[in-house]
Amino acid sequence: MGEINLKFFIASLLIISSIGLVSADYTLGTPTHNIETSYSLGEKVNGWVSIQFTNESNFTLFEDSEGNSMTLLELITENPDFTYSVNATYGTIDTTTLQNLNLDDGVFNLPDIPGNLFYQFNFSDVEIFIEEIEMTLVVGDLNTALNNKINELNVIKLEINTYDLFEQISLNSALKIDEIESKLANLSLDYVSASTQAELDNISASLSLISIPNQIEVINTAISIPIFPTSENVDLDNLEIVSNSTYESGEENIYKTAIIGWNVDNLDTKISFKEFSASYGDTSESVVSIFDLEIDKKNVLDYKGYIFIEKMNDTLFKQDYQEQEQGDYYVFDFVGDTKIISFSTIEEIDFAELPFFISPAMTELNIEDLEYVEGEENEIKKYDQKKWVIFILAIVLLLILSFILYLVLQTWYKKRYENYLFSDKNDLFNLANYITNSKKRGLDNSQIKESLLKSKWNSEQIRYALRKYSGKRTGMYEIALKKNIEKNKQGGVRNYRPGRYSPK
């Protein structure tokens, strides 16, 4: 079994190695190609490319800029005079010479839209050629194109008719269905009466500008979602005009807050939403949104309210709501217990961001409590500010006192610390001599300290003498208050006259 596995492993390595030696390549002739540059609508490309292959995969693609493609083997199969050999082991194709490979019998169809286009042809993701091609109309082509557009329009109208009446009206308006139908009817009449190529060209150009979607679908929906107006959408100036009431200058925020509070206390507002999109070939775009704004009263109100909905692009209302226009708003009287307003717009807007607000006259709003609260809040803010000022001043004063205290301690350590430790100067002198001699005998600081502690020297005196011997700082970090500081005198054991060590 082990021998069989070894043989299989060796055979696999040989196959992988031999595959690795296969190197695909192709060569283009000179010229690389020759194709016609004028076509009727929807014709296939007519011409050839000059090419030679070495170990090229059967599945390498010929592709064009119109989305058409064929594998190498598929296109060669359509060219019976093209000579080649197939390596069945590796699935590759070889040719011995440069040959012309005809494109006529391929699937490289041109579009059915008149005008000029730049047509690109690739092999293995590499451009073989790019040519400007003219797409021209003949009488039969134009008639076919007109009929195709009319059929497309009829299909999309049937799809629109599957929705409810207001959705149909909104979609027809957004897609301009009536306008397109009228244009197609006029172009059909122009075609019947056309007698020159120039007239046909004008009809063709107009037809190419008409876009009809191939599909309509609902892409977003929301049903009876609670919604509240935001203070940013409240327009007090327009409310002032409509309700014939006024507000105090400088108290805009109080009134806006009162309006939002009134909505929360007295209304139950919900929104339903449906967004439609239309597909044009491979692309899709939003075309219209339909809203149902439902407002119910929570409490019995003996005064009138007003509903403000900001104007949006191509707004349509489901019925006549007796709305009036005021500035940038449509305004609706809110008298009964329930009000439902259905409308559509081609403007792309999320249902949660619908620009609307609802309010009674400003005289019906409870402003006094809000003024008291705002005044109380202002007092609290002032009190908090005073507390912060006092706190900051206390911190600054504490820092100043700490700085002064540090300077006092610094001066004491600099001028008095040594006298405090060594009231008899001979003690420091003797201690320095002992440290010097100990260092000469090779003792380290810990050994010297241990010996001195046994001789009744205290740790603070020992630390001071050792640091002074080493030339290190013996007091606090010094803060220089003058620019020119007097240089320190040289310290250390060299300042002491030699003498005998006398331990305490």
Of the listed ranges 209-213, 304-308, 431-435, the one predicted with least confidence: 431-435
Measure CA 71 to chain center.
40
Strand duo 115-123 + 126-136: pairing: antiparallel
Q: Which pLDDT does position 199 carry in this prediction?
A: 87
Q: Which residues, in sequence order, are CB contacts of 157 under 8 Å at separation 6+? A: 177
Q: Taking 70 as the threshold, does the pLDDT of residue 22 lie above it? A: no
Write the secondary structure of 111-135 as one string of H (helix), E (strand) and C (coil).
Answer: CCCCEEEEEEEEECCEEEEEEEEEE
How confident is the model over 117-144, as pLDDT tens digits? 999 999 999 999 999 998 876 666 788 8
Of the listed ranges 2-11, 100-109, 120-129, the one predicted with least confidence: 2-11
> How many whole angstroms separate alpha carbon 144 and alpha carbon 41?
10
How confident is the model over 256-266, as pLDDT tens digits? 999 999 999 99
Q: Which pLDDT does position 403 carry in this prediction?
A: 78
Both tokens of 503, joined, read 């331990």
Both tokens of 213, joined, read 């979607």
Of 292, 433, 267, which is closest to residue 351 (Cα–Cα)? 292
Write the secondary structure of 27-42 as one string of H (helix), E (strand) and C (coil).
Answer: EEEEEEEEECCEEECC
How confident is the model over 446-490, as pLDDT tens digits? 888 888 887 778 888 788 788 777 777 766 666 665 544 454 444
Q: Which residues, in sequence order, are CB contacts of 203 under 8 Å at separation 6+? A: 142, 146, 187, 190, 191, 194
Q: Which pLDDT does position 342 carry in this prediction?
A: 96
Query: Per-residue confidence at 397, pLDDT binned at 50, 70, 90?
Result: confident
Q: Taking 60 as the threshold, does the pLDDT of residue 45 lie above it? A: yes
Maximum CA extent, the chain? 137
> How many whole angstroms separate alpha carbon 142 and alpha carbon 116?
16
C-alpha torsion 13→15→17→20, nearest 10:
-140
Q: Is there a contact between 291 and 315 (Cβ–Cβ < 8 Å)?
A: no
Collapsing DSSP to helix, strand or coil, 487 comes out as coil
Both tokens of 341, joined, read 């307003």
